[in-house]
């Protein structure tokens, strides 16, 4: 994995963990997420238009990826209504790079070095170790988490092929604009104007800009390295989120989390060397 691609993916992971922290601390995470998604496709629009480059060939990729993004938002909301963040997030984000690797090998005929395969597996294992499963998980919660991971793996694989037909910022807008609006309108209709009004603020704006920045960095990294490697490095956001939880939310970070973090670091090293 080229150093630049690794740096972009890790930067995206840090930004992703930060905006998730902001949304997790909000009064109504579902409404805050919907508002942040709308912010992510509206405020950066002048920059997107100034750097616009897209061919008509990108449209099928944008439609498929956008559909998966919409599914991801809906499934994530459903999962968080019934299960803990500490169950859903590590499973969904940790399994995604493994699924990307499997898609690349089985469906697309991609080849990966042994170091890359080991790196993906180690990152996925470390991500789960960081937060753990806590036992007693309902099969429905596990199924939702797996479905979310499938959406993440799906749009990552599609984006790898689609981003070559557009500049990263233009591609982001084409993929995310309509899912953000559809999800935003749906949540606003269900939760009401008062709930929306309470979540409008600086934290929501920063979270939305973080969504835009993190995804754009990942798209740029996908132009430089394999989808499996980028996905694995990107999912280190769970480790970063655990550290932020300890620093800002006073969560306990014990030996299991430290072991998970060390496993992720070894996995990243394997990806970089591969």
Give the SS3 label for residue 54. strand
pLDDT over 60 at 136, yes or no: no
Distance CA 22, CA 105 (A): 36
Mean pLDDT, residues 233-259: 77
213-241 pLDDT per residue, tens: 999 999 999 888 887 788 778 878 878 87
pLDDT over 90 at 114, yes or no: no
Contacts of 201 (CB under 8 A, 6+ apart): none
- What are residue 54's DSSP bridge partners? 166
Domain count, the chain: 1
Domain that holds residue 160: 3-273
Q: Which parts of the chain fold into alpha helices (H)?
A: 3-24, 29-42, 45-50, 59-82, 85-106, 114-131, 139-162, 168-191, 193-199, 202-222, 227-234, 237-248, 255-273
Give the SS3 label for residue 56. helix
Q: What's the pLDDT score for residue 273?
A: 66
State pTM to two decimals.
0.82
| DSSP tag of 26 | S
């Amino acid at each position: 994995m080229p150093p630049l691609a690794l740096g972009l993916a890790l930067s995206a992971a840090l930004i992703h963990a930060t905006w998730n922290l902001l949304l997790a601390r909000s009064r109504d995470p579902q409404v805050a997420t919907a508002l942040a998604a709308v912010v992510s496709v509206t405020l950066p629009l002048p920059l997107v238009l100034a750097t616009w480059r897209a061919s008509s060939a990108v449209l099928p990729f944008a439609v498929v990826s956008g559909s998966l993004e919409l599914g991801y938002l809906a499934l994530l909301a459903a999962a968080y209504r019934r299960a803990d963040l500490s169950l859903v997030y590590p499973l969904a984000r940790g399994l995604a790079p493994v699924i990307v690797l499997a898609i690349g090998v089985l469906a697309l005929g991609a080849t990966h070095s042994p170091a890359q395969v080991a790196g993906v597996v180690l990152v996925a294992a470390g991500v789960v170790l960081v937060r753990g499963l806590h036992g007693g998980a309902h099969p429905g919660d596990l199924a939702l988490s797996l479905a979310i991971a499938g959406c993440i793996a799906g749009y990552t694989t599609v984006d790898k092929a689609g981003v070559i037909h557009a500049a990263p910022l233009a591609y982001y807008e084409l993929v995310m604009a309509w899912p953000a609006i559809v999800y935003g309108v749906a949540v606003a209709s269900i939760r009401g104007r008062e709930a929306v009004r309470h979540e409008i603020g600086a934290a929501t704006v920063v979270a939305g800009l973080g969504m835009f920045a993190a995804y754009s960095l990942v798209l740029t990294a996908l132009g430089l390295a394999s989808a499996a490697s980028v996905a694995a490095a990107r999912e280190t956001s769970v480790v970063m989120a655990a550290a932020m939880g300890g620093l800002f939310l006073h969560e306990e970070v014990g030996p299991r989390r430290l072991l998970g973090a060390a496993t992720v670091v070894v996995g990243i090293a394997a990806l970089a060397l591969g």
